[in-house]
Copies of this chain bind each other. A is one copy, B any other.
Amino acid sequence: MTELVNGLKDALEYTRLYRDQIFVLKLGGEVLSSPEALDNVAVQVALLESLSIRVLVVHGGGPQASALSRQMGLQPEIVAGRRVTSPAVLEVAKMVYAGQLNVDVVAALRRHGVSSVGLTGIDAGLVTVHRRPPVEVTDDDGITRTVDFGEVGDVDSVDTRLLDVLLPRGHVPVVSSLAADSEGRVMNVNADTLAAALAGALGAQKLIYLTGAPGLLRDPDDPSTLVAFAAPEDLQALLLSKSVKGGMRPKVEACLRAVKSGVRRTHIIDGRTPDALLLELFTGGGSGTMIVGEREKRTYETAGR
């Protein structure tokens, strides 16, 4: 009883600060694969929404797409954390991202009383991409080769008009990582990058990655090397030092782009921890890694988190 009241009073400052602000939430495959984790996220989003925070959810579904690919006799190929997408794999991506997982997320939110709307980047011209040309890729083992990622698009532009209609009315858009090029050809998009592009275009206050790791680690195998707080120049150094590997690489790159395009703060936290999101948002303590822009960094000491 007292606990609740104290909680409410402690949260007061934050609820004021966050009201009517936009938060972009990227759900990783680890969250999507666990009904409990997804339910846990849904209840947290419901709470944010009840505090008049405008939430947009982005998701991909790599592990699930790989699983279905295999079930259908297609060997998944991932290079530098990004999926090579043949036309057959694109069909799998449509089924898994826009079909199975998007419906699961929307339904989980609906169960907790949130009005969510499942979308892809194709809807209402939301995201326009161009097909990625074959690129030199150096993988985690330092080997470089030319890769044609196939039906994979890189984001050219975002048209937020549909979101501008949905967000102020209390609908939570749930965007899966598909988009189309200017000719209307459907393509797979990296969900981490997509989340950063949407956050930038919307002028989001926060971009939060709910992942399967405790945050950004200097040594991926040693949880004690968690980077709690980082400015862009720190990240540049980390990226050069090659200690950022696998799926964490696009996340870190996306965070860098996001803060450059005006997102105030980006977070990489563990989506499997109960209440991770609320703890990060409403307590001074936080968890995981917070990445801020240049100017933000300088004022960090004095401002509340």
Contacts and interface: CB of A to CB of B under 8 A. Distances in A.
Interface in A1-22: 1-12, 15-16, 19
A275 B2 contact: yes
A107 interface: yes
Copies in the complex: 6
Contact of A275 (B5, B99, B119): B5
A6 B8 contact: no
A94 interface: yes
A95 interface: yes
Interface stretch (A46-54, A131-139, A204-212, A243-251): A46-54
A98 B107 contact: no
B99 A100 contact: yes
Contacts of A52: 52
A91 to B, nearest CB: 6
Interface in A117-154: 117-120, 122-125
A12 B46 contact: yes
Interface in A162-205: 162, 165-166, 169, 171, 178, 180, 183-186
Contacts of A95: 95-96, 99-100
Contacts of A100: 91, 94-95, 99
A16 B12 CA distance: 16
A169 to B, nearest CB: 7
Contacts of A16: 50, 113
B1 A3 contact: no
A116 interface: yes
Interface of A: 1-12, 15-16, 19, 43, 46-47, 50-52, 71-72, 91, 94-100, 102-104, 106-108, 110-113, 115-120, 122-125, 162, 165-166, 169, 171, 178, 180, 183-186, 275, 278-279, 282-283, 285
23 contacts: A3-B6, A6-B7, A7-B8, A7-B11, A8-B11, A9-B278, A12-B50, A15-B50, A15-B51, A19-B50, A50-B51, A51-B51, A94-B103, A95-B95, A96-B99, A98-B98, A98-B99, A103-B122, A107-B122, A108-B184, A112-B184, A118-B122, A124-B171
Given A7-B11, A107-B122, 15 more contacts: A4-B282, A4-B283, A5-B278, A12-B46, A15-B50, A16-B113, A107-B184, A107-B185, A110-B122, A110-B184, A112-B184, A117-B119, A118-B120, A162-B171, A165-B169
